[in-house]
Amino acid sequence: MTKASERLVWAVETLAVEPADHVLEIGCGHGVAVSLICEQLAGGKVTAIDRSPTMVDMASRRNRAHVASGKAVFQAIALEQADFGSERFNKIFAFHVNLFWKQPARALGIVKQLLTPGGAVYLFHQLPGWKETSETQAFSKRATDMLRSNGFAVREVLAKDLKPMPAVCLIAEAPAITPG
């Protein structure tokens, strides 16, 4: 097992995974974050998707024991094509997934439908070339505005000075849908 990158360790720490959480990772890559999440689950589950069948195959092999135990499920599919049936997630996260920045209304509309009441989305981002705090602050403001304009309440904006470049995490909730 390879050592987890600093950015994925920070992401999973930020998620503050509880034993019974139901987590969705969008863009799971090699499945390193899934490995870290599964270490904290007891009764919960992580579903991880990625557009690349090659990445999903590698992630599934890395997490073979977690898949066998039912803690982890992998699907080679894009978010906009995924069908989770009635399954909902209390935590949804993505690290540097372009769909959220290129088609935010589409991506966030899907996320709203997949979140449990009180659930949160965690959007992590790192851009090559970020060197100054002002660059991460400008991105954070644009991302906060984007989330708010798509019906989310931003709970927290975190910045972390990771190597080789800083990273940002926006934590947001969709307002509860009230009948009426």
Q: What integer pLDDT is reported at residue 180 of this predicted model?
A: 46
| Domains of the chain and CATH, by start | 6-173 (3.40.50.150)
From first to last of its 180 residues, the chain has per-residue pLDDT tens of: 456 789 999 999 999 999 999 999 999 999 999 999 999 999 999 999 999 999 999 999 999 999 999 999 999 999 999 999 999 999 999 998 888 888 999 999 999 999 999 999 999 988 776 666 677 788 889 999 999 999 999 999 998 888 777 889 999 998 765 544
Reported as type and span, the H/E element at residue 14 is: helix 6-15
| Three-state secondary structure of 146-165 | HHHHCCCEEEEEEEECCCCC
Cβ 52 vs Cβ 30: under 8 Å = no
pTM score > 0.75 for this model? yes
DSSP-H helix ranges across 16-157: 32-38, 53-62, 64-69, 99-102, 104-114, 133-149
Q: What integer pLDDT is reported at residue 53 of this predicted model?
A: 97
Closest CA to 12 of 172, 169, 173, 141: 169
Q: What integer pLDDT is reported at residue 42 of this predicted model?
A: 95
Q: Which amino acid is at 85?
A: G
**Taking the alpha carbons of 109, 115, 120, 122 in that order, is the dihedral positive or negative?**
negative
